[in-house]
Amino acid sequence: MDINVTDTIQTVDEDEWDRFAGCDPVERSHAWYRTVEESGMRKMHYVFLRENEKLRAAACCFLLREKMHRIGIPFLNVQSPLGVSPAFFSETPDHARILLERLEEIRKKEKGLGIMLFCLRKEELSAVEKQVRSFVRFPGRDNTYIDLNFTDFEDYLNSLNEDSWRSARMTLNRARRWKIRTVFTNEISKWKEVTYRLQKYTCEQHNDYRMHLTHQFYDSLEKNLKENAELLLCFKDDIPLAFGLSLNSSSIANYRYPGVDPEYRNYQAYFLLYYEAIKRAIEKRQKRIYFGPTTYEFKEKIGCKRAEIFGLAKMKNPVLNLVLKVYITFSASWGKKF
């Protein structure tokens, strides 16, 4: 058995990794990890386990402060960086034990207070829980998605209930009346100044800059994933109103990191983004579109369903682990999610 602890995905061949972890959605792919590494937005760490020269288990992680009752707790997060996909790959308790031993070493080196295995779907949660011990389960914020079983965009609109159909029509008609122009482009770097500024408004609104994409991120994204990444921008004349970034495979569209200029919020470009994204995905014959967590009321109005997300966490000692259990218990009773 060969165990490799490293700070770069490039110690593993790209084809081998994509076969092992999958690249649908794109944020699981070798190219995505390279993009994040090159951008400097997350300091990545990896544990690779091989048997007979074959990759059998892996964990990808980074240190991030999670807010717990307004206090930032440094956790070693095991998940796709800047994404909502799991990054703990193990099929046996023995493999899981070895991965966790190495993750614990990384946690100590990075001065984290705990380890968090995050972005697990319900079926993934059950499998991982059977392999790890002393970890506390907690609910994350639900992801949102629409299955695109429609012949065209009109078919999608007609699938909505009457109130939602009327709201969608009003948004689309206003956009035409106000001559709002939408642009799809994979010239990512060309628009990085605009998208950086627009997303900054969103980060300021929520007082959370952890996902604020840097200029270097856009350069790296175009370098590594130009054929899979696309910007959606809305303009009034030459004024950029809003944008979203999509990561695309042949079957899945992932829309993330939206930004809206609050000075022009009356044009409702934020809502237009969603309809244009759905229309685009249907035209590309993609099977599902994801819109991430938050703004659930609006997303459910446009036909989104929720996909439950869970995590498993463990603190560095039994006392802190007990505190974590109490916090999660009370948070669940208040309806609070990570």
pLDDT value of position 335: 66
- Topology at the third CATH level for domain 2-140+310-334: Aminopeptidase (3.40.630)
Q: Where are the beta strands (DSSP E) in the chain?
A: 2-6, 45-51, 54-68, 71-78, 88-89, 114-120, 136-139, 143-147, 180-185, 229-236, 239-248, 252-260, 288-290, 305-307, 310-315
Q: Which residues of 81-105 are buried (b: 16+ CB within 10 A; e: fewer)?
A: bbbbbbbbbbeeeebbebbbebbee
DSSP 141: P
pLDDT value of position 69: 63
Give the pLDDT of the chain (338 residues) as one tens digit per residue.
Answer: 899 999 999 999 999 999 999 999 999 999 999 999 999 999 999 999 999 999 999 999 999 988 766 678 899 999 999 999 999 999 999 999 999 999 999 999 999 999 999 999 998 999 999 999 889 999 999 999 999 999 999 999 999 999 999 999 999 999 999 999 999 999 999 999 999 999 999 999 989 999 999 999 999 999 999 999 999 999 999 999 999 999 999 999 999 999 999 999 999 999 999 999 999 999 999 999 999 998 999 999 999 999 999 999 999 998 988 888 888 887 766 666 77
pTM of the model: 0.94
pLDDT value of position 338: 72
Q: Which residues of 41-58 are buried (b: 16+ CB within 10 A; e: fewer)?
A: bbebbbbbbeeeeebbbb
pLDDT value of position 105: 98
- 25 φ, ψ (degrees, to nearest 5): -75, 165
DSSP 146: E
* Fold match, 2-140+310-334 / 145-306: yes
* 276 vs 269: CA distance, rounded Å: 10
What CATH number should be reported for the domain whose range is 145-306?
A: 3.40.630.30
Each domain of the chain, given as residue ranges in start order, spans 2-140+310-334, 145-306
